[in-house]
Structure formats: structure tokens, C-alpha cells
Amino acid sequence: MPQTPSPARRKRVHKSPEARRADILRAGHEVFGTIGFSEATIQDITTAAGMGKGSFYMYFETKDHVLGAMWEEYVNAFYDTTEAILARGEAWWPTLDELLSRLIQHAVGHAELHRLVYGSANAKALDLCKESNARVVNRICEFVVRGEHAGAFRSRNADWAFRMVYHAADGLLEELIAQGGPIDTEEVTRSVLELAHRTLGAPDAG
């Protein structure tokens, strides 16, 4: 009697650690965006990533760290943009205006991630995201302080002044994004640049 052939074994796919980590982040975007951060489990993420639950802990401690890494990728992309703008060595005010304009565009372009982080993440995840934000804020503040020493920016404390402008813009964007409607990016940019010019003493601020 002929033997029934055994089912073919599923070929194991070997991926680099970087690719596995990217799979988890991709799955995080999918799962968090579908069922929400608070309801999502590590099992949901690993299922969407096509891997065993045990493999997850080789890359992340918790789902909070997954969300933090997603936000870090978002921040790193703008950090690279910041470095590219600063490397051009243009005049102080045009450079600052472009940095703020591009920051607003970047935030609006990733509105869903903003809603996810600020609308449903817990305190631990938010702390991880704030750590990433600090890299960009500190880098631009270095530029602003140098501009203050060069006489381009005039305020009692340029570092503090820019941080106030940044957090005001960030707060406005988060409120507008949370509302869920269309955002007039040009109008937001005009308002933020007006605030920056007044706060940092631009010649056109009166």
C-alpha cells in the first residue's frame, strides 16, 4: 500500500535583526491604528508581524517601547531634515523660518501617529516619546543660541524663548490634530512664525 507523503515542511524565513525589528514596528502601526494602543497586546503585535511571541522580547521590553520606537523613527526623520537645513548655512531668520515651517508640515503629515501617541498612549509611552522630541528641540536651540550671540535673535533668553515657541506650536498642533478635521497648514505656519518673530525679536516684528 503506497504511503501518504508527509506534508511539506514550511520553509523557515531567515531575516536580519533589523528586518525583524522593522516587522514589529510595521505591525505596531497596523495594530495600534486598528484596535488602539490601550487594547492592543504583544500577542496582537507578534501575530501581525508573523513571529512568535518570544521573539518580541529580543527587540522590545513592552508595547510602550514599540510605540516609543515608532515615535523615534518619526522624530529621527525630522532630525535629519533639521541637519540638512542647518548644513546649508543660510541666514539666521530664513533658516529658523524654514525649520519651523517644515516641523509643522511634518507633524500634520503624520497626524495619525500624533493622535495615537497623545490620544491613547499611557504615561510611560509618552515619556519615551518626549525623550525623542528633546533631540530636535535641543538641536534647534543650539542654533538659536548661536544666533543670539551673533546678534540675529534678541530676547532675554533665546534658549527659553525658542522652547516656549516650540511648545506653543506643539500644543496648538496637538489640539488641531485631536479635533480630526482638516488643518490649514499655511495659516498655522503664519501664526507660529509670527509668534517666533515677536518672541525672538525679528526686525519685522515691530
The pLDDT value given to residue 15: 77
Task: Please check whether residues 44 and 118 belong to one and the same domain.
Answer: no
Task: Please check whether residues 176 and 123 belong to one and the same domain.
Answer: yes
Domain CATH code at residue 103: 1.10.357.10
Task: Please check whether residues 147 and 70 belong to one and the same domain.
Answer: yes
pLDDT per residue over 19-33, tens digit each? 899 999 999 999 998
The pLDDT value given to residue 2: 53
Share of the chain above pLDDT 70, in %: 91
Question: Among 60, 75, 96, which residue terminates a domain?
Answer: 60
The pLDDT value given to residue 117: 80
Task: Please check whether residues 134 and 40 belong to one and the same domain.
Answer: no
The pLDDT value given to residue 157: 96
Domain residues for the domain of 28 are 16-60
Read off the amino acid at residue 63: K
- Total tally of structural domains belonging to the chain: 2
Residue 138 domain-assigned?
yes
Mean pLDDT, all residues of the chain: 89
Residue 47 domain-assigned?
yes
Task: Please check whether residues 157 and 75 belong to one and the same domain.
Answer: yes
Asked if residue 5 has pLDDT above 70, the reply is no
The pLDDT value given to residue 101: 97
Task: Please check whether residues 97 and 160 belong to one and the same domain.
Answer: yes
The pLDDT value given to residue 13: 59
Residue 11 domain-assigned?
no
Share of the chain above pLDDT 90, in %: 62
Task: Please check whether residues 45 and 69 belong to one and the same domain.
Answer: no
pLDDT per residue over 122-132, tens digit each? 767 777 778 88
Asked if residue 34 has pLDDT above 50, the reply is yes
Q: Which residue has the higher pLDDT, 106 or 120?
A: 106
Q: How confident is the model at residue 10 (pLDDT cuts 50, 70, 90)?
A: very low
Task: Please check whether residues 38 and 72 belong to one and the same domain.
Answer: no
> Measuring CA to CA, how many Å separate 203 from each of 70, 93, 98, 161, 169?
39, 10, 17, 16, 21
Interior/surface letters 55-93, b for 16+ CB within 10 angstroms, e for the rest? ebeebbeebbbbbbbbbbebbeebbebbeebbeeeeebb
Q: Which residue has the higher pLDDT, 159 or 204?
A: 159
The pLDDT value given to residue 16: 85
The pLDDT value given to residue 17: 86
The pLDDT value given to residue 204: 79
Cβ–Cβ under 8 Å, residues 173 and 106:
no
Q: How confident is the model at residue 163 (pLDDT cuts 50, 70, 90)?
A: very high
Q: How confident is the model at residue 12 (pLDDT cuts 50, 70, 90)?
A: low
